[in-house]
Amino acid sequence: MSKETKTEELEDQVLDLGTTSTQNNANVSPEDFDWESFESGLDEADRKEKAQLEKMYDETLDDLDENAVFKGKVVRLTDKEAIVDINFKSEGVISLNEFRYNPNLAVGDQVEVMVDTREDKNGQLVLSHRKARTLNAWDAVNNAHDSQEIVNGYIKARTKGGMIVDVFGIEAFLPGSQIDVKPIRDYEQYVGKTMEFKVVKINPEFKNVVVSHKALIEADIEEQKKEIVAQLEKGQVLEGEVKNITSYGVFVDLGGVDGLIHITDLSWSRINHPSEILEDGQKINVVILDFDEDKTRIQLGIKQLEKHPWEALDSNLQVGDKVKGKVVVLADYGAFVEVAPGVEGLIHVSEMSWSTHLRSAQDFVKVGDEVEAVILTLDRDERKMSLGIKQLTPDPWTDITTKYPVGSEHKGKVRNFTNFGVFVELEEGVDGLIYISDLSWTKKIKHPSEFTNVDDVLDVVVLELDVEARRLSLGHKQLTENPWDKYDSKYGVGTRHTGTAVDVFDKGATIQFEDADVEAFAPSRTLEKEDGSRVKKGDELEFVVIEFNKEFRRVVVSHSATFREEEEKQAKKAMENQTTETATLGDIDGLAALKKKMEEGGN
């Protein structure tokens, strides 16, 4: 006997017991009337039997597990519900809203259900198809995740960051980045489509499922990549599609595997950015230049498909020829000029002007300038060429002896200083040096900047000319008479002059005479006065010249010699010997004795 049949018989027995109890109470006197039996419709024995039957009935309901999935058959359809027979004591009802995914539901269809409510307010068994689908779906989703099985899903709607996909009846999340290998801008085009997916993540706690369509594409690409890479060879020419353009190069899709064309391999000519010659999606032919052992990095080239520009260069070009080109790169040391597509020559800054002043190439040209130049060197094997601009104008040193003979006077601009002199430009490409000693007859100059400034114009005279070495020695003081020529007789040894001590220090004093150009030095030993005191700063006294050197503009004087006759005589004798330039051993001995005496006097 089936469980359902047994339950029906128990219900019938309970009803029969109620009827029998009512008939029995009809023949009993009022005093003996059994009110409990009347109210329940059962006598005491029947009530016990009914309780036993109800207990047995309840036990049959316990066998209906709410967590179990049952198979049922649709026996009737209404406007709102589907009536489903699951071989229970009564048929169950399911809202048609749970079958919206299946608009073709018909009587006789087998469906999976779970118990939602055993008895509603009408005593009706309520079933749920959605619960059964969801439970089965989670099992299917977990199995698909574990086995990496490909599943079909229906894209229901767009949501923030991606799409909502129905997979086995579960709403899964498809991130925007997992739709395709390429960035997607229009998500709406996928709504309503059924696509294949992989379950990539499950969160059991929050009942979240993440799927990916990109993973399938990548798997296919990886297989294609392995097939393509296995056939790669250096020098092989392939067709590809520009996938991504960066500042340093272009990534090209070779049909599942990417290769990089470095910016230097795009063109024989210099370019600033790859976008100047290629664009996204463009179909191009490339040659494989190199790849690593695993063939994961593939180096491609385009320019190698063309003949090298140096090989196509005019074979008649030679050193000395004039060429025209465009400045493509500029550096401090020079400029690179493209004289033919992919063929460049360097104009060094020293070849831009005859001037010897070191300047930057930016002072002469800028990028994009069209220039004419002369070929200075040409090496086709090394693919190198040097050019010059200054050679387009005559070399100013060609007739230098005619323009700047020794003794000729000129004007020049001060260009720069060194510690030993001043460089003066007479014309572009012709510079001369004035040594610091040739700036002034009288001033003691420690650095040229004390005498003149850069860009000042000076009058000069040519002192020396070395054509081979391209050197000019100039003078400035030579344009005026040497005042020391007249000082030679005026301040001869033994002459007396009145002077002022403008500075007194340990080793001596500086004495200024009436000629502002003449400053004398008085050694410490010669500063003793006749009264035994010493010369002080500001004293105006008489001095005797004891040494005069015109070449080094040196005058040495003594105050003590003015009152020591012997010293004065020795000084005059020394002057006479200097004048005749016939100094004898005795004179030398006399000067030595004078020096010794003066030193003793100073002590």
243 lies in the same domain as 295:
yes
Task: Over range 443-462, report the average pLDDT.
Answer: 88
Q: Of the candidates 392, 420, 451, which is a domain's last residue?
A: 392
Question: Is 293 or 378 the better-scoring residue by pLDDT?
Answer: 378
Let me know the angle formed at the C-alpha of 312 by 308 and 314, rounded to the nearest 5 degrees: 145
Length of the chain counted residue by residue:
603
569 lies in the same domain as 488:
yes
Q: Give 354's contacts (C-beta < 8 A, 6+ positions apart).
A: 390, 393, 395, 396, 397, 428, 429, 430
To the nearest whole number, what is the mean pLDDT of the chain? Answer: 81
Task: Over range 522-550, report the average pLDDT.
Answer: 90
The mean-pLDDT minimum among 59-73, 97-111, 213-227, 551-565 falls in 59-73
Task: Over range 237-262, report the average pLDDT.
Answer: 90
Is 421 among the domain residues?
Answer: yes
In sequence order, what are the beta bridge partners of 253?
Answer: 241, 258
The mean-pLDDT minimum among 22-26, 253-257, 504-508, 524-528 falls in 22-26
Exposure of 450 in the CB half-sphere (CA atoms within 13 A): 12
Give 311's pLDDT tier (boundaries 50, 70, 90): confident
281 lies in the same domain as 341:
no
The mean-pLDDT minimum among 52-56, 179-183, 402-406, 522-526 falls in 52-56
Question: Is 360 or 557 the better-scoring residue by pLDDT?
Answer: 557
Secondary structure element (H or E) that encloses residue 46, with its range: helix 44-62
Provide the residue range defining the domain that includes 26: 3-62
**Helix/strand/coil for 415:** strand
Residue 51 has pLDDT above 70, yes or no: no
380 lies in the same domain as 409:
no
Residue 6 has pLDDT above 60, yes or no: no
Residue 11 has pLDDT above 60, yes or no: no
Residue 97 has pLDDT above 90, yes or no: no
Question: Percentage of the chain surpassing pLDDT 90?
Answer: 28
Whole-prediction pTM value? 0.43
278 lies in the same domain as 323:
no
- Return d(Cα 23, Cα 26) in angstroms, integer: 5
pLDDT for the residue numbered 34: 56
pLDDT for the residue numbered 233: 84
Task: Over range 553-574, report the average pLDDT.
Answer: 75
The mean-pLDDT minimum among 61-65, 536-540, 599-603 falls in 599-603
Residue 590 has pLDDT above 70, yes or no: no
462 lies in the same domain as 523:
no
In the chain, how many domains are there? Answer: 7
Tell me the per-residue pLDDT of 211-234, one tens digit each, with 9 for 90 and over.
999 888 888 777 777 777 777 888
Give 24's pLDDT tier (boundaries 50, 70, 90): low
Is 124 among the domain residues?
Answer: yes
Sign of dihedral through CA atoms 194, 198, 200, 204? positive
Q: Which long-range contacts (CB under 8 A, 24 or more apart) does 416-421 make?
A: 416/357, 416/454, 417/447, 417/448, 417/449, 417/454, 418/448, 419/447, 421/448
Residue 133 has pLDDT above 50, yes or no: yes
- Return d(Cα 421, Cα 552) in angstroms, integer: 18
CATH of the domain at 126: 2.40.50.140
Give 563's pLDDT tier (boundaries 50, 70, 90): confident
Task: Over range 243-249, report the average pLDDT.
Answer: 92
Q: Of the candidates 247, 274, 305, which is a domain's last residue?
A: 305
CA end-to-end distance (rounded Å), the chain: 155
Give 583's pLDDT tier (boundaries 50, 70, 90): very low
- The DSSP secondary structure of 302-359, one letter per residue, reads SGGGS--GGGGS-TT--TT-EEEEEEEEEETTEEEEEEETTEEEEEEGGGS-S--S--
Residue 21 has pLDDT above 70, yes or no: no
359 lies in the same domain as 328:
yes
Q: Of the candidates 479, 505, 533, which is a domain's last residue?
A: 479
